[in-house]
């Protein structure tokens, strides 16, 4: 007996729909564009947008970052550097004058307030000559120069790169002492990667904070070495995390799993640590 025409058409439509769905695949929401950061920790421009794309094309869309020294902080950087040189030369009168100007315009700039308080208290502060000091002419929007900008955010930004194999870089949250960035995993085992970097008081404090990460992820804890970095790893529920320090910087890498078992993601977390430290 012949199948009714309506039933035959229904079967045909189902087959066509199946082929279309198989060809298109699942769509996901990704963020793409560029974020411009100032070395002082401010987001100057956020030129990103969220779009829906086929899952197999998600890796083609990511967020890139560009770090510059804005005009305001370029002037502060010059004043701050003059203050550091004056401190090194023992000229606390000049140092105080420069630091007071910096603090008046930006109370959170570098160690200006701390050094000013030390001078007013009768002490001689140590010159800020660490890795985050601006020793070269900074890059500005009007005068790009030839060198790369330096400063606190530049040191933090290296731990939240635009590209990590197996992940698509998304937005970034910044302030003067911390950066965090989300990534979309291309593996079905996890649905979110977050890397957070915080400027701590000193290297000892950062190392202690990294070692204590196990208290927040107590289900699985271990301490290993990745490259030259002592790393503490742990799991809690659907989350797995790894923490290490780089001088006064605390870096935490966290993955959220789709299976609900964070312990299954320990190797994946360590792979990310290996990628960003190599």
CATH of the domain at 265: 3.40.1000.10
Please report whether residue 49 resides in a domain.
Answer: no
Please report whether residue 214 resides in a domain.
Answer: yes
Residues 224-250: b if buried by 16+ CB within 10 A, e if exposed: eebeebebbbbbbebbbbbbbbbebbb
Please report whether residue 266 resides in a domain.
Answer: yes
Whole-number pLDDT of residue 152: 67
Please report whether residue 101 resides in a domain.
Answer: no
The pTM of this model reads 0.65
Whole-number pLDDT of residue 272: 97
Whole-number pLDDT of residue 14: 37
pLDDT tens string for the chain (278 positions)? 444 434 433 333 333 334 333 444 578 788 888 888 887 677 788 888 888 988 778 778 888 888 777 777 778 888 998 999 999 999 999 999 999 998 888 887 888 899 999 999 999 999 987 544 333 333 333 343 434 555 667 778 889 999 999 999 998 888 778 889 999 998 888 999 999 999 888 899 999 999 999 899 999 899 999 999 999 999 999 999 999 999 989 999 999 998 889 999 999 999 999 999 99
Please report whether residue 60 resides in a domain.
Answer: no
Whole-number pLDDT of residue 87: 94
Whole-number pLDDT of residue 33: 86
Q: In angstroms, how far is the first alpha carbon of the chain from the final one? A: 70
Q: Read off φ and ψ for residue 55, nearest 5 degrees.
A: -55, -40
Q: CA 63, 65, 71, 72 torsion: positive or negative?
A: positive
Please report whether residue 112 resides in a domain.
Answer: no
Please report whether residue 118 resides in a domain.
Answer: no
- Quote the number of domains for the chain: 1
Please report whether residue 157 resides in a domain.
Answer: no
Whole-number pLDDT of residue 10: 38
What is the residue range of 238's domain? 187-278
């Amino acid at each position: 007996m012949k199948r009714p025409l309506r039933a035959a058409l229904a079967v045909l439509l189902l087959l066509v729909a199946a082929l279309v769905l198989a060809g298109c695949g699942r769509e996901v929401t990704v963020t793409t564009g560029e974020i411009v950061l100032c070395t002082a920790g401010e987001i100057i421009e956020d030129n990103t947008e969220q779009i829906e794309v086929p899952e197999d094309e998600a890796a083609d869309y990511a967020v890139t970052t560009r770090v510059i020294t804005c005009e305001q902080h370029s002037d502060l950087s010059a004043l701050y550097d003059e203050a550091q040189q004056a401190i090194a030369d023992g000229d606390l009168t000049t140092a105080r004058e420069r630091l007071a100007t910096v603090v008046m315009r930006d109370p959170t700039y570098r160690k200006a307030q701390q050094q000013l308080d030390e001078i007013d208290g009768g002490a001689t502060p140590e010159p800020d000559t660490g890795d985050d000091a601006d020793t070269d002419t900074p890059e500005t929007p009007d005068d790009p120069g030839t060198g790369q900008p330096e400063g606190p955010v530049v040191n933090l930004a290296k731990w939240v790169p635009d590209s990590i194999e197996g992940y698509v870089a998304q937005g970034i949250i910044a302030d003067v002492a911390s950066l965090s960035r989300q990534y979309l995993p291309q593996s079905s085992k996890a649905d979110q990667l977050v890397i957070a970097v915080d400027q701590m008081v000193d290297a000892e404090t950062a190392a202690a904070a990294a070692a204590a990460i196990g208290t927040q992820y107590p289900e699985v804890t271990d301490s290993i070495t990745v490259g030259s970095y002592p790393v503490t790893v742990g799991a809690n529920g659907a989350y797995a995390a790894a923490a290490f320090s780089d001088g006064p910087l605390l870096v935490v890498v966290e993955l959220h799993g789709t299976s609900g078992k964070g312990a299954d993601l320990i190797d994946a977390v360590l792979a990310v640590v290996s990628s960003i430290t190599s």
